[in-house]
Amino acid sequence: MAIIGNSATNHPNSPLPGIIGNSPAMRDVYRITRRVAVSNASVLVLGETGVGKELIAGAVHQLSHRSGRPFVRVNCGALSESLLESELFGHVRGAFTGAVTNRTGRFEAAQGGTIFLDEINSTSLTLQVKLLRVLQEKEFERVGDTSTLRTDVRIIAASNRDLMGEVREGRFREDLYWRLNVVPIEIPALRERRDDIPALISHFLDYYNELNDRYVVHIGPGTMEALQDYHWPGNVRELQNYVERAVVMAETDELTTDLLPDCVRNGRTQMAPDADGPTPANFDSLARNVVQAGLDEIGQDAGDAHGSIVNRVERELIQQILQACGGVQTKAAARLGMNRNTLHKKIKEYGLGDDG
């Protein structure tokens, strides 16, 4: 769902069409977005899951001279390497089993417009080489074909991970990183722009009231304070989910604290409820132990330590969640808040087995 805000003015720091928030952190985002939109430069949108990276990418496209051409979205983490290559570049009949007809890829479909590559960090090194060629040479071949196709497409990529850390770990090509990172746009987490929460809540209330034929228009005592004090690990997407739930469950015209999850009322991060899974307390202990182990092994080189420690913590968390879910990846992915295919790749990457 697109977040519809007020129409934008000509001021460089004014809210962008379709995006809500007027905090200082977001005004910086608006200024950079407007400045880069009128160019042809590649853009790298960075931020945690749920902050609205696709909305910013869409705004760059809409404010550019390419706005009358296609805006094509691709979630790189949702497909295997072979399927993603075909999705991006197309294929010819007989290129592989099941390729019974020619297929146009997303780069062809986006001709003259913009292609948004979300979760760019999940692409393989092999595919990264082909993306680098598109960026540098403006050309590619369909899978199974020898004919070279030219393309005029602006690339906007997004990642919720530290790409330079991925470069240091050898999982992302440095040359591709610098080609994508011409102009970075870093979207702040919701906890870093708490002043925007009332406006977001008002918008979501309007939207879900209309969608569900409800009339929840008042905020109960202490409710806004609880919402603004919460840490919001799931960012705007999590806030949207809780407001929708409250509208559906409300028996009056008031959004009250009893309609919010315990994690919001108690001011703590929500974790999966299973007793055998990591809890906030034992995971904090786990993280500290892993960090110390990483420092002991690596020594005092903080630059090298960062990426390794992050990967150690992520591996341990995935392993524990998988165990808690009996090895069922679909359930584990939901609890981890990531796409199942992304989880599948990480399981292989960290050598955790593949139990389905």
d(CA 345, CA 203): 36
Tens of pLDDT, residues 199-213: 999 999 999 999 999
Tokens of 337: 């808040």
Tens of pLDDT, residues 71-90: 999 999 988 887 898 899 98
> Does the pLDDT of residue 328 top 80, yes or no?
no
In angstroms, the Cα distances linking 85 to 63, 116, 141, 332 are 29, 15, 10, 26
- Local structure of 230: helix, strand or coil: coil
- Name residue 69's amino acid: R
Specify whether the CB–CB gap between 32 and 9 falls below 8 A: no
Specify whether the CB–CB gap between 214 and 208 falls below 8 A: yes
Third-level CATH fold of 280-349: Arc Repressor Mutant, subunit A (1.10.10)
Which CATH number is associated with domain 194-266? 1.10.8.60
297 versus 182: the higher-pLDDT residue is 182
Predicted confidence at residue 15, as pLDDT, reads 76
Predicted confidence at residue 82, as pLDDT, reads 79
Across the beta sheet with 183-186, the strand order is 71-75, 114-118, 154-159, 43-46, 183-186
Nearest to 130 by CA among 111, 158, 149: 149
Length of the chain, in residues: 356
d(CA 131, CA 116): 13
Query: How do the domains of the chain map onto residue ranges?
Result: 24-188, 194-266, 280-349
Tens of pLDDT, residues 122-162: 999 999 999 999 999 999 988 888 889 999 999 999 998 89
d(CA 201, CA 211): 15
* Strands 254-255, 114-118: pairing kind: unpaired
d(CA 30, CA 196): 14
> Is the dihedral angle over the CA atoms 262, 266, 271, 273 positive or is it negative?
negative
d(CA 208, CA 214): 8
Instruction: Work out the pLDDT band at 235, boundaries 50, 70, 90.
Output: very high
d(CA 201, CA 204): 5
Helix, strand, coil: what percent of the chain each, to 5? 50, 10, 40
CA dihedral 30, 36, 41, 43 (to 10 degrees): -10
Q: If you average pLDDT over every residue of the chain, what do you get?
A: 84
Lowest mean pLDDT among 160-164, 189-193, 326-330: 326-330
Q: How far is CA 303 from the centre of its chain?
A: 25
Q: How far is CA 260 from the centre of its chain?
A: 24
> Does the pLDDT of residue 280 top 70, yes or no?
no
* Strands 148-150, 139-141: pairing kind: antiparallel
Please determine whether the domains at 194-266 and 280-349 fall in the same fold group of CATH: no
Give the CATH architecture of domain 24-188: 3-Layer(aba) Sandwich (3.40)
